A and B are shown apart, each in its own frame.
Chain A
Amino acid sequence: MAETYDFLFKFLVIGSAGTGKSCLLHQFIENKFKQDSNHTIGVEFGSRVVNVGGKTVKLQIWDTAGQERFRSVTRSYYRGAAGALLVYDITSRETYNSLAAWLTDARTLASPNIVVILCGNKKDLDPEREVTFLEASRFAQENELMFLETSALTGENVEEAFLKCARTILNKIDSGELDPERMGSGIQYGDASLRQLRQPRSAQAVAPQPCGC
């Protein structure tokens, strides 16, 4: 599997059962809605190479089971994640109420510096909404999260959520806030870049782009 990328980021998708985590991942990777979505047991895995701010980034995404009972298993996959999509269902207040617990898990088990984007999923079901945009964005602000409302069904904001998270991580690397070489940063250099990022951007050679897109 010869592929070229500048960075590899480990991502998590977390949140309560039935919020659409697997569907978000499927929409992001396959560009369509997953009709036959079943519950996730343990962890599912997906990856995709994206282009963010001139960098080729491979996102390695761990989609976790939502049911409480599986947390003892899924937590072993948290370690060293650079980013996370924290998902709730805008039509279910309960899934919103458990966000704090999920966030604590992510910050304690993955890394305190993990970049988290809050996703209010099932945006297409607006008539059944139980959580307002305003309320959730306040929660996001208080907890230093980015925030988007998404729809895995229509695809709205799905790509944006992943890319926004990746972009933030890249910026933090650029600004020195995140050190890819630190153990458990969730970031790895790809073949394409091998440490070039440490140099100023202007001096940097353009990384070869993967072809056949």
Chain B
Amino acid sequence: MRKQVQRSEKTCWKFTVVLSPVYGAQHPPLDPRLTKNFIKERSKVNAVPLKNKKASSFHEFARNTSDAWDIGDDEEEDFSSPSFQTLNSKVALATAAQVLENHSKLRVKPERSQSTTSDVPASYKVIKSSSDAQLSRNSSDTCLRNPLHKQQSLPLRPIIPLVARISDQNASGAPPMTVREKTRLEKFRQLLSSHNTDLDELRKCSWPGVPREVRPVTWRLLSGYLPANTERRKLTLQRKREEYFGFIEQYYDSRNEEHHQDTYRQIHIDIPRTNPLIPLFQQPLVQEIFERILFIWAIRHPASGYVQGINDLVTPFFVVFLSEYVEEDVENFDVTNLSQDMLRSIEADSFWCMSKLLDGIQDNYTFAQPGIQKKVKALEELVSRIDGRFKGRRVLHCLPSDDPFQCTQPNSIFFASQSEPEGFSHFHLYVCAAFLIKWRKEILDEEDFQGLLMLLQNLPTIHWGNEEIGLLLAEAYRLKYMFADAPNHYRR
């Protein structure tokens, strides 16, 4: 039987529709409507005793939302309309130029303040060094996430492993620090050590990425976990870490009780297959840390509970906070070498930062994913304003997907998002739009839904480095600049 099989095509793509790339968030979410809804939703949930959602209610739900993810409008599309070369290209170019100029100004600015002291509080001073070379060596022979990806475009470039990408931005080349990088680092140190860290300024500086030396503390600050006031930081950390372990003491034993069994079982199934090829995540201690973080988060957020994919959000935080103590080869580091205290700090900080991140996007995970549906709608509108050829929801079904970003550099996206005042979920819209626009020709050339899915699941981004991400983000920034505050701009 096996011999008869014609293997004229071997394809398998990973496709994700549910989760948006959630490597960054602004906390608290600045959109007051969002916050209000969120609170409302929460209190509603608290009022209702947690009931077991079984398949019966699914059918009711299915009827009620039968149009929610409707793909029926695929057929109505009209791609034959004359090619709009859309945006006035002069406007576009001028804006792009301005963005670039602003950025270079930002980068030069620190030189003024070079002379000022750059001491970072001792507890945040983290120096890692030799990891670069190690990580880049790994990068040439490891293909982490998508072994099935078949990339033709840039076959010679290394695929940067996930952990390398998170723990060290410069993994691909590890060149010596340039003067510009040094002055940037100085600027960060100065900001971080000032009595009251200017978070807006820190956000601005973080736009092109946070130097790894100051990354852990910057992430803690920008996620809203650490206070801007230097004196309060130590106490806050201590208090929050104690609070987290208080939760553990109080709730963790309930994981085997009947009403939490489903949650715990699902987490327990998912943890061993989180980053399955990286030795770090196969260590029992690490897996236990992940299980505790996720379980506590889940039972404290009954509106969504644990949803597959949330486990992946712990990873970047865990790696960044671990990198505070580990100088090389994070992927193969044996965590039993760390003291109990260090491990507890990493665990608690990962929990709180992940919680802050999820606070802004929890409605992506609640029943029927209203957050994602809203985003799809917004994206649909935005993209059709940018380019009239994008019609219908066909393309957009594929978009609120974190997949393109798995192939890219989550840390960069994260930095950029953290540095946007409206926060991640807002800026993300423009990143998605920039993605679509980048491949608009290929997308519009696809004839059917399947072809489109294959294309979008398989965009050649696996070799993307900082440069490509930088360009994408600049484009997203440009789009936001042009469209965000001008709802009628280019409206068709």
Contacts and interface: CB of A to CB of B under 8 A. Distances in A.
B259 to A, nearest CB: 15
Given A44-B15, A76-B69, A29 B10 contact: yes
Contacts of A3: 8-9
The dominant DSSP class at the B interface is: loop
B365 A69 contact: yes
Interface stretch (B16-24, B190-198, B325-333): B16-24
Contacts of A37: 273, 276
Nearest to A209: B6
B308 A30 contact: no
Given A36-B147, A42-B16, A44-B14, A67 B266 contact: yes
A18 B69 contact: no
Contact of B18 (A65, A68, A210): A65
B55 A104 contact: yes
Contact of B277 (A25, A35, A45, A49): A35
A101 interface: yes
Interface string A14-35: 0001100000011001100001
Contact of B71 (A36, A76, A108): A76
Contacts, number: 145
A106 B365 CA distance: 24
Given A17-B308, A43-B15, A105-B55, A38 B276 contact: yes
A42 B10 contact: no
B4 to A, nearest CB: 5
A38 B275 CA distance: 8
A38 B11 contact: no
For A46, A51, A163, the residue with the greatest tally of chain B CB atoms inside 10 Å of its CB is: A46
Contacts of B453: 45
B450 A51 contact: no
A46 B309 CA distance: 21
The dominant DSSP class at the A interface is: mixed
A72 B65 contact: yes
Interface of B: 1-2, 4-19, 53-55, 58-59, 61-62, 65, 68-71, 147-148, 266, 269-270, 273-274, 276-277, 304-305, 307-309, 311, 365, 367-369, 401-402, 450, 453-454, 457
Interface of A: 1, 3, 17-18, 25-26, 29-30, 35-51, 56, 58, 60, 65, 67-73, 75-76, 79, 98, 101, 104-105, 108-109, 159-160, 163, 209-210, 212-213
Given A38-B276, A46-B11, A210-B6, 16 more contacts: A1-B9, A26-B12, A30-B12, A39-B269, A39-B311, A40-B308, A42-B19, A43-B17, A45-B11, A45-B15, A51-B5, A69-B365, A70-B18, A72-B61, A98-B55, A104-B59
25 contacts: A17-B266, A25-B12, A29-B12, A36-B273, A38-B273, A41-B16, A41-B19, A41-B308, A41-B309, A42-B16, A44-B12, A45-B450, A46-B12, A47-B12, A49-B8, A51-B5, A51-B6, A58-B9, A65-B308, A69-B308, A72-B68, A72-B368, A76-B69, A159-B5, A212-B8
